[in-house]
Each structure stands twice: as structure tokens, then as C-alpha cells.
């Protein structure tokens, strides 16, 4: 049986809400209690609807590490969100401090960070060879050991580096390297670097992780990702958060209608006969 670690969140408001971001985001002003009855929950809505703000708030309150950036407790871009997160109260089945928070832009930043770290370690090793040219082999080996150990760890986790594969391959390599069982995983638009076939692979990977008691809260626009079986869907619309059914989502209906008759949409968009 899978475990739902985080059962619900409740926003306890100060007596007077500040008239500043993120308190002015409509879904934040209207938020009371949000439940997570299943291991996978999706936030869906247009850009600017507040789903990313709420996801960041949960990440800060849970003190999850962010991929490709500082800890959520130190990330300067999340300073305003951290103040809001202090008003978030939790209901847990099983408290976990495992997992991570990933924004789509963090993936690309982390791939560049790994490539830079790898290059710096190799450069340091080359410098040691010159510095210890007149020393014994044992002295050179001892001095190079920390650098060689770090390079080996990177290669064991990421092979030739995240920049050596396609974005989709790199995403899965990073994801598997950072995954541990019993974790809470918050993801903002993970479909960004993924083709449709890779999005299907993501569903399978999430399913594997859920079997190891992982819980996911994901903000996404992808009708493919949203189709995960048994997921809880929340629609962010008109400043409110409401449960939704897959077939009733605008993202799904519009995509389905377009694929059934793309020419009808293209004629309207480009005013062609």
C-alpha cells in the first residue's frame, strides 16, 4: 500500500493580509485548507493563476532542497514566498524531509552546473600534475585523491554529464540520481524538456516511485502528464482552487479538439481558406 505523507495544508492568515506579493495572489487570499488524498496531485491552470506560487510556498514550508539552486530556505528568489510559508500549517500521515522541489528552469541550470563542476575538477587535476611534477607518485596520488573522488561520484551519478545527452535523457538521469524512496516531490512544469513520448515515460517513472512511497505534487499544462491514473486534480481558475475531472479540464478539451480537427483552428488563426 502506498503512503500519502502530506494529507493537507491550511493557510492561517494574519489579522491583516499585507497588500504585497504573494499575499495579493487571488488563490492565496482565498486559500483555506487543501487536501491531498492520493499520492499524485496536479495543479492545473493558466500562467499567472497562482499554482507555481502555491507550489513554491509548500516547498519552502517543507524546507525541501531545490534542484539547480540553493536550498529553498536560502534561495533569494523565494524570499517573499518564505514569509508566506510561515503561515502554512500541515497535516501529515508520515512526516518526511526527503525529496526535492524542481522548477523547469532549475533543470537547465543544474545541467550547466554539473558541466562546470566537472570541467573545474579536471582542470584542478591537470594543475596538480604540474605542481607535483618533481614529487613522488605517492604524493601526487594523495593530493589528487579528493578531486578524483568527486569526479568519480559525478560519473557514477551522471555518466558523461547531463549536457552530453538530449534534454529528455538528461532529465531522467538527473531525476533517477536524486530520487530516494519515502520522499515528497514538488515539480513545476516537468514536461518542459520532454517530448510527448518522454512525458509518457515520466508517468511510468512516477508510478515506479509511488510504489516506493513517494508523493508528488505537480503543476503542469500537459494533458499527457495530467492523465496519471488515480491522480487528484485541482483547477486554479478565477482566484479559486477547485477539484476537477480530467475530461472537464480546458487543457484537455482544447488539445483533444485541436487534434481532432487542426485545420479548423488554423483557418481561424491565420485567416486562410
| Domain segments of the chain as ranges | 6-105+180-270, 107-163
Name 236's Cβ contacts closer than 8 Å, sequence gap at least 6: 27, 43, 44, 45, 46, 49, 50, 51
Name 102's Cβ contacts closer than 8 Å, sequence gap at least 6: 66, 67, 68, 185, 186, 187, 188, 190
Give the rounded percent of residues in the chain with a pLDDT score beyond 70.
71
User: What's the pLDDT tens digit per position in 204-232?
Assistant: 999 999 999 999 999 999 999 999 999 99
Give me the pLDDT at residue 245, please.
97
Distance CA 73, CA 62 (A): 9
Cβ-defined contacts of 256-261 (< 8 Å, 24+): 256/223
DSSP state of 192: T
Name 130's Cβ contacts closer than 8 Å, sequence gap at least 6: none
For the chain, the straight-line distance linking the first and the last C-alpha, in angstroms and rounded, comes to 56
Least confident of 16-25, 39-48, 179-188: 16-25
Strands 215-219 and 232-237 turn out to be unpaired
40, 228 in Cβ contact below 8 A? Answer: yes
Give the best-scoring range by mean pLDDT among 120-134, 148-162, 240-254, 256-270.
240-254
Give me the pLDDT at residue 168, please.
61
pTM of the model: 0.77
DSSP state of 94: S
Give me the pLDDT at residue 163, please.
45
| Domain 6-105+180-270 grouped into CATH 3.40.50 | yes
Distance CA 72, CA 101 (A): 8
Amino acid at each position: 500500500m502506498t503512503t500519502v505523507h502530506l494529507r493537507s495544508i491550511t493557510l492561517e492568515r494574519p489579522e491583516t493580509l499585507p497588500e504585497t506579493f504573494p499575499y495579493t495572489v487571488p488563490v492565496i487570499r482565498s486559500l483555506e485548507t487543501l487536501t491531498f488524498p492520493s499520492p499524485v496531485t496536479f495543479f492545473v491552470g493558466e500562467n499567472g493563476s497562482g499554482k507555481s506560487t502555491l507550489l513554491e510556498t509548500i516547498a519552502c514550508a517543507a524546507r525541501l532542497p531545490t534542484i539547480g539552486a540553493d536550498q529553498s530556505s536560502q534561495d533569494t528568489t523565494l524570499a517573499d514566498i518564505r514569509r508566506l510559508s510561515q503561515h502554512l500549517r500541515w497535516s501529515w500521515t508520515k512526516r518526511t524531509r526527503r525529496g526535492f522541489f524542481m522548477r523547469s528552469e532549475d533543470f537547465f541550470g543544474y545541467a550547466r552546473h554539473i558541466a562546470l563542476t566537472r570541467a573545474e575538477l579536471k582542470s584542478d587535476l591537470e594543475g596538480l600534475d604540474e605542481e607535483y611534477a618533481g614529487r613522488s607518485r605517492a604524493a601526487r596520488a594523495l593530493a589528487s585523491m579528493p578531486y578524483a573522488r568527486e569526479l568519480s561520484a559525478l560519473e557514477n551519478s551522471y555518466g558523461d554529464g547531463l549536457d552530453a545527452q538530449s534534454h529528455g535523457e538528461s532529465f531522467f538521469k538527473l531525476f533517477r540520481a536524486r530520487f530516494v524512496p519515502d520522499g515528497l516531490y514538488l515539480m513545476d512544469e516537468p514536461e518542459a524538456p520532454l517530448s510527448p513520448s518522454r512525458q509518457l515515460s515520466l508517468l511510468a517513472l512516477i508510478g515506479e516511485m509511488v510504489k516506493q512511497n513517494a508523493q508528488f505534487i505537480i503543476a503542469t499544462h500537459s494533458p499527457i502528464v495530467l492523465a496519471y491514473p488515480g491522480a487528484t486534480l485541482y483547477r486554479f481558475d478565477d482566484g479559486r482552487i477547485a477539484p476537477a475531472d480530467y475530461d472537464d479540464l480546458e487543457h484537455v478539451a482544447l488539445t483533444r479538439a485541436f487534434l481532432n480537427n487542426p485545420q479548423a483552428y488554423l483557418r481561424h488563426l491565420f485567416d486562410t481558406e
